[in-house]
């Protein structure tokens, strides 16, 4: 499960990116024809507008494929697609024989925008993350479980009878993280605090704090 989810996000992101990389290159190779089409739609400053479109499609697509600033790239593409879809695929204003094709293109762009909006709320995905067995889904319930585990970790630290130095190293980043999936499962099942997973939670939460930068604030 931990491998499939990040890998699926990575593949989906790359597939979306390929659409815009290909579209950007086609605009470069067919610059004159594309400019003429844009002029026919009444686009002002055609050449400047076309260059901006190429930068968004090609640049945004490459950023998506590489996973660098992918959320910003996805947002830029969504903002670009909104006017582009309304202007170039206005199925309500074309000849009857073109309605079906333009409607398909309109719906296709809506689906692409939906995929991009999904990327905005998804954790970054990479091959490294897909191969890492310690990468867990950032679901709301999971984060709530980790936050509660962090509160238990603080309580355990300040109430421990061990010397301060021992307490510090007991919750070092090298602490095991194996308890985190169990904590999430326990929360989903409304488990009681005496569960073995909850007893393991302080060290697991400390590990999550150091490596995932989870903010342990009151729920």
Cα separation, 108 vs 114, whole angstroms: 10
Q: Specify the pLDDT at position 170.
A: 39
pLDDT at 208 over 60: no
Q: What is the pLDDT of residues 99-119, one digit of tens each?
A: 999 999 999 999 999 989 888
pLDDT category at 175 given cuts 50, 70, 90 is very low
Q: Specify the pLDDT at position 13.
A: 87
pLDDT category at 9 given cuts 50, 70, 90 is confident
Q: What is the pTM of this model?
A: 0.55
With b for 16 or more beta-carbon neighbours within 10 A and e for fewer, the 49-58 pattern comes to ebeebbebbb
Q: Specify the pLDDT at position 100.
A: 92
Q: Specify the pLDDT at position 69.
A: 86
Q: Specify the pLDDT at position 173.
A: 41
Residue of 72, 130, 82, 146 lying closest to 109 (CA atoms): 82
Distance, C-alpha 135 to centroid of its chain: 14
Cα separation, 196 vs 200, whole angstroms: 6
Only one residue has tokens 């905005």, namely 120
Count of residues in the chain: 219
Q: How many CB atoms lie within 10 A of CB 90?
A: 12
Q: What is the pLDDT of residues 38-94, one digit of tens each?
A: 999 999 999 999 999 999 999 999 999 888 888 899 999 999 999 999 999 999 988
Cα separation, 14 vs 81, whole angstroms: 18
Q: What is the pLDDT of residues 114-164, one digit of tens each?
A: 989 888 876 555 444 444 444 444 445 555 555 665 555 555 545 555 444
- Vertex 38 angle, CA 52 and 21, to 5°: 45
């Amino acid at each position: 499960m931990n491998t499939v989810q990040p890998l699926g996000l990575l593949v989906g992101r790359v597939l979306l990116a390929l659409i815009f990389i290909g579209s950007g290159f086609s605009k470069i190779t067919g610059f004159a024809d594309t400019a003429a089409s844009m002029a026919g739609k009444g686009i002002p400053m055609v050449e400047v507008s076309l260059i901006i479109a190429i930068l968004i499609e090609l640049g945004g697509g490459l950023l998506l494929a590489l996973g660098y600033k992918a959320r910003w790239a996805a947002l830029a593409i969504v903002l670009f697609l909104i006017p582009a879809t309304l202007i170039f695929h206005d199925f309500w204003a074309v000849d009857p024989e073109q309605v079906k094709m333009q409607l398909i293109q309109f719906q296709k762009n809506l689906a692409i925008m939906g995929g991009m909006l999904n990327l905005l709320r998804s954790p970054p995905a990479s091959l490294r993350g897909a191969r890492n067995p310690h990468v867990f889904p950032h679901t709301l319930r999971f984060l709530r479980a980790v936050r509660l585990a962090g509160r238990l970790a603080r309580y355990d630290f300040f109430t421990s009878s061990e010397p301060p130095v021992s307490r510090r190293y007991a919750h070092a980043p090298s602490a095991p993280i194996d308890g985190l999936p169990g904590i999430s499962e326990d929360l989903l099942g409304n488990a009681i605090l005496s569960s073995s997973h909850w007893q393991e939670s302080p060290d697991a939460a400390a590990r999550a704090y150091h490596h995932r930068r989870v903010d342990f604030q009151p729920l």
